[in-house]
Amino acid sequence: MTVPKTTVLVLDSAEPELLARFYAELLDGTAGPAPGDGDLLLVTGRTGVVVGIRRDPAHAPPSWPLPEGSQQAHLRILVAAQGLDEAEREAVALGARPVAAEDGGTLPGSRTTLRRYADPAGHGFVLAALREDLAPASSTEEMLTPPSSVADVHRTESEGA
């Protein structure tokens, strides 16, 4: 048995409370301080996904389009295909800014499966339709439904699902 671990993607922000609230509402989750770290807020979505937001008074928004030859991280938020339009409306109402195609954003031909945005602090994220053919044996609805308990998550992981 290995030591239990978890991964948290942390985004920097000059105003972490605002960004944490944005992601908590977008992911239908909650935001709160990380235990023992006054500069880190944790956002827990309804499926248990956690995003950290760290206070950085000198934060400069990432550039988009990306500088030539560079890569940067972005969040890919999976949505049932039939809910993509509604998810887009929610994101924009919360302060997301669509990224124009000419700036490396959503291409007109891909709007049915993928849409690119910048969050209120300028970090890139994508709303992506969850492809049925890539989902495990369970349905898309099951994949987007949170487990009933942490024990279910550990049991599912140990069963190799």
Domains annotated on the chain, with CATH: 9-155 (3.10.180.10)
pLDDT digits (tens, 9 = 90+) for 61-119: 887 666 665 656 778 898 888 898 999 999 999 999 998 766 656 666 667 788 889 99
Please give the Cα distance from 73 to 71 (Å, whole number). Answer: 7
Percentage, residues of the chain above pLDDT 90? 34
Question: What's residue 107's pLDDT?
Answer: 65
Compute the 3-state secondary structure of the chain and give helix, strand, coil in percent, each to the nearest 5. 30, 25, 45
DSSP-based three-state secondary structure for 17? helix
How many Cα neighbours within 13 Å face the side chain of 145? Answer: 8
CB neighbourhood size of 124 (10 A): 22
pTM, whole model, 2 decimals? 0.69
CA 7 to chain centre: 13
pLDDT at 18 over 90: yes
